[in-house]
């Protein structure tokens, strides 16, 4: 069962990365073009986001009707919907990093295969931020 889960996860991640690479969404210049709404705006990312909403909406509807996932004993869903200062601060930091680097975690991982040097710097910084959060956020 664990091997099937890992294999399916690897397949899904590879498919996602291939989609990012083929659509050009792993290109930081394309992301910066999307964020430049008062300049040379590139609307491509809006279509990608819109295209992602439809299958995700269908997946949530299917999930509600399922008793359990196909490859696990139960669903693991967030148990809270609270919006607090930590979530807001994290969103601001994420947005700033996305705007400055033109990368977010998914495209950065995909870029390790396409454009490794700048992506490696971003991924290392991202990992450093995760480690720092773990050190600061100890119970």
pLDDT of residue 131: 93
Q: Which of 80, 77, 94 is nearest to 130 (CA)?
A: 94
pTM summary value: 0.65
pLDDT at 73 over 80: yes
pLDDT of residue 124: 92
| Interval 10-67: pLDDT, tens | 898 888 888 888 878 888 888 888 888 898 888 888 888 888 899 889 999 999 999 9
| Interval 74-123: pLDDT, tens | 888 877 778 888 889 889 988 888 888 888 888 888 888 888 888 898 89
Written as six digits, the tokens of 20 are 């990012």
pLDDT at 1 over 70: no
How would DSSP label each residue in the chain?
Answer: -HHHHHHHHHHHHHHHHHHHHHHTTT-HHHHHHHH-TTSS--THHHHHHHHHHHHHHHHHHHHHH-SS-TTSSS----------HHHHHHHHHHHHHHHHHS--HHHHHHHHHHSHHHHHHHHHHHHHHHHHHHHHT--
pLDDT of residue 58: 94
SS3 annotation, 47-83: HHHHHHHHHHHHHHHHHHHCCCCCCCCCCCCCCCCCC
């Amino acid at each position: 069962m664990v091997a099937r889960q890992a294999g399916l996860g690897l397949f899904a991640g590879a498919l996602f990365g291939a989609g990012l690479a083929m659509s050009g969404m792993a290109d930081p210049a394309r992301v910066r073009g999307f964020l430049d709404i008062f300049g040379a705006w590139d609307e491509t990312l809006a279509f990608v986001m819109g295209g992602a909403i439809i299958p995700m909406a269908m997946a949530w509807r299917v999930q509600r009707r399922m008793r359990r996932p196909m490859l696990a004993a139960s669903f693991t869903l967030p148990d809270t919907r609270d919006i607090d200062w930590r979530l807001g601060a994290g969103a601001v930091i994420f947005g700033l990093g996305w705007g400055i680097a033109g990368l977010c975690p998914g495209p950065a991982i995909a870029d390790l295969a396409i454009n490794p040097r700048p992506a490696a710097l971003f991924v290392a910084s991202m990992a450093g931020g995760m480690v720092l959060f773990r050190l600061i956020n100890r119970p």
